[in-house]
Structure 1
Amino acid sequence: MSGIGILRRLTPTTKCVTNVVLKSRKAPASFFHSSPDSTVEVHSQEEEVVIALGSNVGNRLNNFDEALQLMRRSGIDIMRHGCLYETEPAYVTEQPRFLNSAIRGVTKLGPHELLGVLKKIEKDMGRTGGIRYGPRPIDLDILLYGKHRIHSETLIVPHERIWERPFVMAPLVDLLGSNVDSDVVACWHSYSIHPGGIFESWEKLGGQSLIGKDGMKRVLPVGNSLWDWSVKTSVMGILNVTPDSFSDGGKYQSVEDAVSQARMMILQGADIIDIGAQSTRPMASRISPEEELDRLIPVLETILKMPEAEGKLLSVDTFYSQVASEAVSKGAHFVNDVSGGLLDSKMLDVVAELKVPYVAMHMRGNPSTMQNSENLQYDDVCKDVASELCVRVQDAELAGIPAWKIIIDPGIGFSKKVEHNLDILMGLPTIRTEIARKSLAVSHAPLLIGPSRKRFLGDICSRSAASDRDPATVASVTMGVLGGANIVRVHNVKDNVDAARLCDAMIERRASFA
Structure 2
Amino acid sequence: MLRSLPRLSPRVWSAFAASDSCILGASQHAIRRYASTNAAGCQGEECDVVIALGTNMGNRGLNLHRGLRRLRQLGLSVLRHSALYETAAAYVTDQPAFLNAAVLARTRLPPRELLRMLKQVEAEAGRDLAGGPRFGPRPLDLDIVFYGGGGYRDERLEVPHPRWRERPFVTAPVADLLYRRDASAAAGGSSSSSSSSSSSAAARGSEGATPSGRGSSAPLPYGHAGSVLGHLRDVRGVWDGLCSGQLVPGPAGAGANSGGGGTGPRGGEIMRRVTPLLNMDAGPSSSSSSSSSTTGGSSSGAADALLTWGVRTQLMAILNVTPDSFSDGGKFFPAGLGANVGGTAAGGGSSAVGGGGSSTDAGLAAVVGAAEAMVREGADMLDVGGQSTRPGATRLTHGEELARVMPVVRALRQSPLLRSVPISVDTFYAQVARETVAAGANIVNDVSGGALDPDMRDTVAELGVPYVLMHMRGDPGTMSRPEHTSYGGPVWRGVGGELMAGAAAAEAAGVPAWSIILDPGIGFAKTAEGNVQLLRDLPLLRSQGLDGPYAASAAAAASGSSPGADGGSSSRLWGGPLLVGPSRKRFLGSLTGREVAAERDAATAAACVVAVAAGADVMRVHNVRDVRDALCVADAVYRG
Using the size of structure 2 for normalisation, the TM-score is 0.71
Q: CA separation in 1, counterparts of 2:101 and 2:244?
A: 16
Q: CA separation in 1, counterparts of 2:231 and 2:388?
A: 52
Question: SS state of the match for residue 51, structure 2?
Answer: strand
CA offsets 1:106-137 (integer angstroms, 9 cap, x no match):
11112222122112222333321322222222
Residues 249 and 209 of structure 1, relative CA distance in 2, 3 Å threshold: farther
Q: CA separation in 1, counterparts of 2:607 and 2:330?
A: 26
The equivalent residue for 1:233 is 313
Q: CA separation in 2, counterparts of 1:337 and 1:258?
A: 22
What's the offset of the Cα at 1:360? Answer: 0.2
Q: 1:349 aligns with which of 458, 461, 464?
A: 458
> Residue type of the partner of 1:64?
L
Are residues 1:463 and 2:518 paired? no
Q: 2:142 aligns with which of 140, 143, 147?
A: 140
What's the offset of the Cα at 1:295? Answer: 1.0
The equivalent residue for 1:503 is 634
Pick which of 70-79 and 174-183 moved more. Answer: 174-183
Conserved 8 A contact 2:312-2:639: no
Equivalence map 1:330-349=2 (5 Å): 330-349=439-458
What's the offset of the Cα at 1:94? Answer: 2.3
Conserved 8 A contact 1:211-1:218: no
Question: SS state of the match for residue 32, structure 2?
Answer: coil
Conserved 8 A contact 2:446-2:469: yes
- Aligned-residue CA RMSD in angstroms? 2.3
Question: SS state of the match for residue 121, structure 1?
Answer: helix
> Residue type of the partner of 1:483?
A
Are residues 1:267 and 2:269 paired? no
Q: CA separation in 1, counterparts of 2:245 and 2:501?
A: 25
Length, aligned pairs only: 477
Question: SS state of the match for residue 22, structure 1?
Answer: helix
Are residues 1:448 and 2:579 paired? yes
The equivalent residue for 1:386 is 496
Q: CA separation in 1, counterparts of 2:246 and 2:627?
A: 29
Residues 297 and 21 of structure 1, relative CA distance in 2, 3 Å threshold: farther
Residues 440 and 62 of structure 1, relative CA distance in 2, 3 Å threshold: closer
The equivalent residue for 1:23 is 32
Q: CA separation in 1, counterparts of 2:628 and 2:138?
A: 41
Pick which of 330-339 and 471-480 moved more. Answer: 471-480
CA offsets 1:280-327 (integer angstroms, 9 cap, x no match):
000100011111111111122112222331432211000011111111
Q: CA separation in 2, counterparts of 1:30 and 1:97?
A: 35
CA offsets 1:88-110 (integer angstroms, 9 cap, x no match):
11112222221111101111112
Q: CA separation in 1, counterparts of 2:160 and 2:414?
A: 51
What's the offset of the Cα at 1:473? Answer: 1.0
CA offsets 1:314-368 (integer angstroms, 9 cap, x no match):
1100001111111111101111000000000000111111111010000000001
Conserved 8 A contact 1:47-1:108: yes
Q: CA separation in 1, counterparts of 2:421 and 2:591?
A: 34
Are residues 1:161 and 2:160 paired? no
Are residues 1:219 and 2:274 paired? yes
Q: CA separation in 2, counterparts of 1:54 and 1:202?
A: 18
What's the offset of the Cα at 1:185? Answer: 6.5
CA offsets 1:42-62 (integer angstroms, 9 cap, x no match):
933111111001122333222
The equivalent residue for 2:525 is 415
> Residue type of the partner of 1:197?
D
Conserved 8 A contact 2:85-2:169: yes
What's the offset of the Cα at 1:69? Answer: 1.4
The equivalent residue for 1:197 is 234
CA offsets 1:472-509 (integer angstroms, 9 cap, x no match):
11111111111111111111111101011110111244
Q: CA separation in 2, counterparts of 1:166 and 1:432?
A: 23
The equivalent residue for 2:569 is none
Are residues 1:283 and 2:392 paired? yes
What's the offset of the Cα at 1:83? Answer: 1.2
The equivalent residue for 2:59 is 59
Are residues 1:150 and 2:187 paired? no
The equivalent residue for 1:243 is 323
Residues 156 and 273 of structure 1, relative CA distance in 2, 3 Å threshold: same
Conserved 8 A contact 2:122-2:142: yes
Q: CA separation in 1, counterparts of 2:35 and 2:443?
A: 54
Equivalence map 1:473-492=2 (5 Å): 473-492=604-623
What's the offset of the Cα at 1:415? Answer: 0.2
Conserved 8 A contact 1:448-1:485: yes
The equivalent residue for 2:199 is none
Q: CA separation in 2, counterparts of 1:174 and 1:139?
A: 19
Q: CA separation in 2, counterparts of 1:21 and 1:228?
A: 46
Q: CA separation in 2, counterparts of 1:211 and 1:303?
A: 36
State the identity %: 46
Q: CA separation in 2, counterparts of 1:153 and 1:350?
A: 42
What's the offset of the Cα at 1:442? Answer: 5.5
Q: CA separation in 1, counterparts of 2:369 and 2:63?
A: 39
The equivalent residue for 2:481 is 372
Q: CA separation in 1, counterparts of 2:73 and 2:53?
A: 17
Conserved 8 A contact 1:251-1:257: no
In structure 1, list runs of 5 or more residues that go unmatched: 1-19, 33-41, 510-514
Are residues 1:321 and 2:321 paired? no
Conserved 8 A contact 1:144-1:157: yes
Question: SS state of the match for residue 182, structure 2?
Answer: coil
The equivalent residue for 1:118 is 118
Q: CA separation in 1, counterparts of 2:438 and 2:576?
A: 25
Residues 230 and 25 of structure 1, relative CA distance in 2, 3 Å threshold: closer
Are residues 1:404 and 2:484 paired? no
Residues 461 and 283 of structure 1, relative CA distance in 2, 3 Å threshold: same
Pick which of 223-232 and 473-482 moved more. Answer: 223-232
Are residues 1:434 and 2:544 paired? yes
Residues 161 and 427 of structure 1, relative CA distance in 2, 3 Å threshold: same
> Residue type of the partner of 2:147?
Y
What's the offset of the Cα at 1:267? Answer: 2.1
Q: CA separation in 2, counterparts of 1:207 and 1:115?
A: 34
> Residue type of the partner of 1:395?
A
Using the size of structure 1 for normalisation, the TM-score is 0.88
> Residue type of the partner of 1:262?
A
What's the offset of the Cα at 1:435? Answer: 4.3
Q: CA separation in 2, counterparts of 1:417 and 1:191?
A: 44
Question: SS state of the match for residue 307, structure 1?
Answer: coil
The equivalent residue for 2:49 is 49
